[in-house]
Amino acid sequence: MVLMQHAMGATVTRYLLIESRDPCRSHAFGLRCELAAALRTDGAEVTLFLVENAVLGVRAAARLPALDKLAKHGVELLADEFALRERGIGAAEIAAIVKPAHLDTLAGLLAGGARAIWN
Amino acid sequence: MKDPKSLAFLLMDAPFEQARTATAFRLIDATLRRSVGARVFAYEGAVSLAVTRQKPHANAIHGRTLEEEAHPRPHAWITALADLAREKGVAFEWVNCGLCVDERGSDEAVPAARRGSPADFWKMAQESANTLVIPTR
């Protein structure tokens, strides 16, 4: 497994959590957010990449406290721009803490050795 | 030998059922476009993705002809991925779980797919820079 070299010389592991379920309907979403926060607290780089119905949670109007908490922990929050377009979620509706991203970004993280879990 | 320029994927969903299938194909396409190889192991229902007998159909409800509907056929996507890999000069492998194929009678597969066993997935994971399992539910 590839480890990223930290600026201080220490090795930092990157985790990639891919979430595909609607956060409002998935009871386990909160648990996975806790996992992401815990990994971040342990010093890892963590990306939560939302695909398919999981992008429904990134609308500012959805007001998901779990995502705010992750952003405060320094977890990178990305949402599949294709899934956003498919669901008619425009840029103006997306919470500022989330960045739309192409699946190429996801492929790049995998190619870079991020430890990935698909939910 | 480890190939730092390829990723391994495991798919489990049957065609025409889940959004995961389209997302997985998009991700594999994005991987190949980065000139990174892709080694795919199709397990359980996913072995039917490669079946050549998938037929497009018109859509009477929406009043679309066969051509207008352009119904997607995953076996054509697999062939397109193999063509893209060739164009990019990177590795592409599609291996169907043999027992899963036999259970489903899904043995008429596109030339880009070959028959194998879960041992092939272990080998793919060993030889690739990283592995992503996209599980079914």
Of B23, B133, B135, the CB nearest to A51: B23
Q: What is the pLDDT of residue A10?
A: 65
Question: Model confidence over B36-77: pLDDT tens digits?
Answer: 999 999 999 999 999 999 999 999 999 999 999 998 999 999
In this prediction, residue B136 carries a pLDDT of 87
Could you tell me how many CB contacts below 8 A there are between chain A and chain B? Answer: 51
Using a CB-CB distance cutoff of 8 angstroms, which residues of chain A are in contact with residue B134? 118
**Region for residue B113 given its phi and psi (left: phi exceeds 0; alpha: psi -120 to 50; beta: otherwise):** beta
Q: How far apart are CA B42 and CA B114, in angstroms?
A: 10
List all residues of chain B from 28 to 67 with a beta carbon under 8 Å from chain A.
30-31, 33-34, 36
What pLDDT shows up at residue A1?
44
The per-residue pLDDT for range B75-93, each reduced to its tens digit, is 999 999 999 999 999 999 9
Counting Cα atoms < 13 Å in the Cβ hemisphere of A42 gives 13
Angle at CA of residue B107, ends B72 and B85, nearest 5°:
55
Structure-block tokens of residue B57: 């159909």
CA-CA distances (angstroms) from residue B51 to A83, A86, B76, B101?
A: 27, 27, 9, 10
Instruction: Give the integer Cα–Cα distance in Å for A54 and A50.
Output: 5
pLDDT of residue B63: 95
Residues in chain A predicted with pLDDT less than 70, given as ranges, are: 1-10
Confidence band, pLDDT 50/70/90 cuts, at residue B2: low
What's the ipTM?
0.92
